[in-house]
Amino acid sequence: MSIFALEPPPIAVEGPSVWTGAEMLAEPLWIVPWKPEQLAEMRAAALHFQALNLPFEQISPDNFPLTQLKPFLGRLLTELLHGRGFVLLRGIPVQDLGIELAAIIYMGLGVHLGTLRSSNGKGHLLGHVCDQGVDITKTGGRFYQTNKKLDFHTDSADLVGLLCLQKAKAGGESFIASSMKLYNEVVRRRPDLVEALFMPYPTDRRGEVPEGLHPWFDMPIFTWYENNLSCVYIRQYIEAAQNNFPEAKRLTTDQLAVMDLIDEILAEPGFVLPMAFEPGDMQLLHNHQILHSRNDFENWPERERQRHLLRLWMAPKEGRPLPDYFKARWGSTQAGERGGIIVPGTKLSVELDYQ
């Protein structure tokens, strides 16, 4: 048996991680407004950390102290890891706080959920999702640095968070989908293609190459391991690896067909869940069971009004077990210490300005 098919896959996934966008819109319990007392505790913790005058990279649960919020964050983490896999937390007053205090609150909440991971080869623990005029056809260009539509994908960490500082003039809506429901649909419609989901797919690293490794990594779309089904997928970079690296394994007819089927299912009305971010919204996703994308957007001409999200990648110590082949992309499979992008010369840092 291939290392990419360690155990016979399930016939179907059951439980709260299996949902459609239409079902979530009908009962929007996933939108959770912050309470005034919660906001007050977060602000107090941020002011405490700010007074310590420490580098942002050193933020921790000890120097961003939360007492009343701990039970809430524990329930939130359980919902992310073992429930529907996402939440939208609403109401951080980012426009009143300013970017420094907003970033401290955001990172402070993040370190209470897991360790922060670098989301690019530069070592940025706090990512900036905004149009930076990047040419996606160039090596190292990534779609989050443009105003272009993002295809459905997962990120290379257990949890990803987005905090909205500014929304676009038009467009830029977030879309998410249950990869567990997606799997069930593939099994139901084309059982002959299920095996292709568990084959390796070479995926372009976009120039961010760890020492001694190929400029692509091999990963199946789905992994069934220790009774957990996990999804890793970004078709744009799979196709880029086929185009850019002749020595990478060629995809089979079934692999191409199952990616087409995935696209068809995700395009069907009611399957995905749309979200229009407002400033102060914080979206948290469990990458193993959620796919996410974004619409094209039009920016305001003034830089200070342009669409701007802050991103965190987090590794909770309570994360699910993963097989060894995840090391090729995640560096480690140790829960709490895995995920992120580390290349030669990477130095972990926090930048409040994206230019």
CATH of the domain at 52: 3.60.130.10
**343 contacts 351 by C-beta, under 8 angstroms:** no
What pLDDT score does 288 carry?
A: 98
The verdict on residue 204 lying in a domain is yes
Within a domain: 13: no
The pLDDT of residue 274 is 96
Q: Is 325 exposed, middle or buried (0-12, 13-18, 19+ CB in 10 A)?
A: buried
On whether residue 309 sits in a domain, the answer given is: yes
Give the structural domain span for 103. Answer: 21-330
Low pLDDT (below 70) residues in the chain: 1-6, 131-149, 169-172, 297-306, 354-355
Q: What is the pLDDT of residue 173?
A: 87
Can you give the pLDDT at residue 28?
96
Q: How many CA atoms lie within 13 A of 92 on its CB side?
A: 30
Residue 344 lies in a domain: no
Q: What is the pLDDT of residue 186?
A: 98
Per-position b or e across 86-109, b if 16+ CB within 10 A of its CB = bbbbbbbebeebeeebbbbbbbbb
* 255 part of a folded domain: yes
Residue 306 corresponds to which tokens in the numbers above? 């342009």
pLDDT at 228: 96
- Write down the pLDDT at residue 323: 96
Question: How many structural domains is the chain composed of?
Answer: 1
14 in a domain, yes or no?
no
Residue the block writes with tokens 């996933």: 30
Flag whether 311 is in a domain. yes
Answer yes or no: is 237 within a domain: yes
- pLDDT (tens digit, 9 = 90+) per residue, 8-25? 889 999 999 999 999 999
